[in-house]
Amino acid sequence: DARWPLLNLWLDNLRQTEVIEQLQQWQGDGQFHRIAFVNPHCANLASQNPRYRGMLNAADLLLPDGSGVLLASRMLGTPLKENTNGTDLFPVLCRYWQQQKARVYLLGAHRGVAGRMAEQLLWEYPGLHIAGSQHGYFAEEDTPNIIQKIRDTHPDVLLVAMGVPKQDMWIAEHLAQLQTPVAMGVGGLFDFYSG
Ligand code: UDP
């Protein structure tokens, strides 16, 4: 098992290329997979919130996000193979999705941000499809409509940018209804990408 325990979180200790191999293995298996990232802030929240911790540990891939986790891994004597972080991994994932001609749905951030991110992605990764986008400040009672809207576009990948722990809890709770092959919480990525 490549998983590696840090503060009761079972992180997958993978290189970027191994993450892509995992995506390839999932390709066409008919299952719905979720990927979560952990930074020190998440680890702290998880230590106080067993439900969140359980949900992270049950993710199909739990990846370390950034140098804080790398440092902790060294101090605990079980260093990570690579300083994986969401920001560096994202372009690698996009190139893979570009080759696959994948349909990507963007959910989250303030109104207009996901649309600008979509334009940026189309420009940087021609061949990638944007299935749709939706801001992340909808009312709780709109959740069933949002899920239906996402489902109707048949995305291969769902990126959810609604902050920690909300985004990862939302994915875990709704993944079966969403019927999306891969869903991933991405934090502030849309804000970063939309400039
Ligand atoms: N966000 C959202 N809905 C919410 C709360 C946050 O769409 O109810 C978005 C926010 O606009 C930002 C992203 O989630 O684009 C990440 O939020 P934050 O910057 O708080 O990051 P965190 O460190 O919590 O992941």
C-alpha 114 – ligand 1 centre gap (Å): 12
Mind listing the pLDDT tens digit for each residue in 114-147? 999 999 999 999 999 999 999 999 999 999 999 9
Q: φ, ψ for residue 8 (rounded to 5)?
A: 65, 15
**Which residues approach ligand 1 with their CB closer than 6 A?**
108-110, 136-137, 161-164, 166, 187-188, 190-191
* Pairwise CA distance, residues 11 & 8, whole Å: 9
Atom of ligand 1 nearest to the CA of 189: 15
Mind listing the pLDDT tens digit for each residue in 75-105? 888 788 887 788 899 999 999 999 999 999 9
Q: Are strands 3-6 and 9-12 parallel, antiparallel or unpaired?
A: antiparallel
**Which residue has the CA at smallest separation from atom 21 of ligand 1?**
163
Mind listing the pLDDT tens digit for each residue in 18-64? 999 999 999 999 999 999 999 999 999 999 999 999 999 999 999 99
Q: Which residues pair with 139 in a beta bridge?
A: none
- Domains of the chain: total: 1
**CA-based radius of gyration for the chain:** 16
CATH number at residue 22: 3.40.50
* Pairwise CA distance, residues 150 & 128, whole Å: 17
Atom of ligand 1 nearest to the CA of 110: 11
What is the domain extent for residue 36? 3-193
What pLDDT is stored for residue 7 in this prediction?
79
Q: Are strands 129-134 and 3-6 parallel, antiparallel or unpaired?
A: unpaired
C-alpha 173 – ligand 1 centre gap (Å): 18
* Pairwise CA distance, residues 63 & 39, whole Å: 9
* Pairwise CA distance, residues 94 & 167, whole Å: 20
Pick from 167, 184, 193 the residue to mutate for probing ligand 1's pocket: most ligand atoms within 8 Å of its CB: 167
Determine which helix (DSSP H) or strand (DSSP E) holds 106, and give its type and residue range.
strand 103-108
